[in-house]
Structure 1
Amino acid sequence: MASTEPTALASSTTSEIGAGTGKTVIHDSVVSKIAGIAAREVTGVYALGGGAARALGAIRNAISSTDLSQGVSVEVGETQVAVDISLVAEYPIELQKVADDVRFAVITAIESLVGMQVTEVNVTVNDVHIPSDDDSTDPAEARVQ
């Protein structure tokens, strides 16, 4: 769903110096990154992406290169954007609340930072993270840490 073409935005603000003297181009990857950052900041979001995307993200993290748009797909038009986000939620936080909070955060971030109208934010909860899953029961794994 992610488009690779940059998006040109017409400035609606005329009170700023230089307004109307050119066009602003915001690449779709920037919109995707902003949505990813906003979603990650929501309480109850453990991680973004599905299993394969998170595995690739773990490799990126190991080499200190985080993909902030992991699990986010955007479809950008002239003045509107639609967003699809897949995530892993924290247990026991209410999943509908997490999804609603992600929608609100993404819409707020894109509309305020990018200046585009968000037509929809589709949230897919791929998994639930249980804090006890982080505890290592294998003595060999405990030694590696």
Structure 2
Amino acid sequence: MADTTQKITPTTAAPVGNASGIGGTTDVNDSVVAKIAGIAAREVTGVHALGGGAARALGAIRNVVNSTDLAQGVSVEVGDTDASADVTLVVEYPFNVVQVADQVRVAVATAITDYVGLTVTAVNVSVTDVNIPTDGDDPADAN
């Protein structure tokens, strides 16, 4: 099984870093980076949900039992000082798909840099569907 932890030393940590002056390392698991990216992507206006069809179906089941997967639709590759992310999402109609994807790219890169202190080399966005709301749609069903 591959090691999925990210080691961050005080020199590569976010600006707040190790203010105590005490030596040591901080391990940040890839799943933490994926959750941060997922939260950032969901906050972008025009994003209806994250993940492809199967992931969203499983997510709907998770929501019934109050167990939301915040990393749904997000995969990350984390190096020593950098990271990249792949985000799969559904855009809400009538938002501009390209603009939403660009805003997601910026939001995810900013969040990973701000919260984990990693340089983001790429954020690949895949839009798999467009949600066309109907009168009976509940906005809480998104994501």
TM-score range with shorter-chain normalisation?
0.7 to 0.9
Q: In the alignment, what sits opposite 2:8?
A: 9
User: d(CA) in 1 for partners of 2:130 and 2:45?
Assistant: 13
- Structure 1 gaps, min length 5: 136-145
- Structure 2 gaps, min length 5: 138-143
Which of 124, 127, 130 is the aligned partner of 2:126? 124
Alignment of 1:10-49 (within 5 A): 10-12=9-11, 16-19=19-22, 21-49=23-51
The one of the two structures with greater contact order (alpha-carbon pairs below 8 A, sep at least 6) is 2
Whichever residue aligns with residue 100 of structure 2, its letter is V
User: d(CA) in 2 for partners of 1:46 and 1:124?
Assistant: 13
Describe the SS at the equivalent of 1:132. coil
Q: Would you say the 8 A contact 1:4–1:28 is kept in 2?
A: no
TM-score, length basis structure 1: 0.86
- Aligned structure 1 segments of 4 or more residues deviating by more than 6 angstroms: none
TM-score, length basis structure 2: 0.87
Q: Would you say the 8 A contact 1:7–1:27 is kept in 2?
A: yes
Whichever residue aligns with residue 23 of structure 1, its letter is T
Q: Would you say the 8 A contact 1:79–1:117 is kept in 2?
A: yes
RMSD, aligned CA: 1.7
Q: In the alignment, what sits opposite 1:139?
A: none
- How many residue pairs end up in the alignment? 132
Provide closer, same or farther for how the CA distance between residues 22 and 61 of structure 1 changes in structure 2, counting only shifts above 3 A.
same
Whichever residue aligns with residue 132 of structure 2, its letter is I
Q: In the alignment, what sits opposite 1:80?
A: 82
User: d(CA) in 2 for partners of 1:15 and 1:9?
Assistant: 11
Alignment of 1:60-75 (within 5 A): 60-75=62-77
Query: How far is 1:134 from its partner?
Result: 4.5
Q: Would you say the 8 A contact 1:35–1:110 is kept in 2?
A: yes
1:84-132 per-position Cα deviation (integer Å, ceiling 9, x unaligned): 0000000010001000000010011000000000000000000000012
Identity %: 59
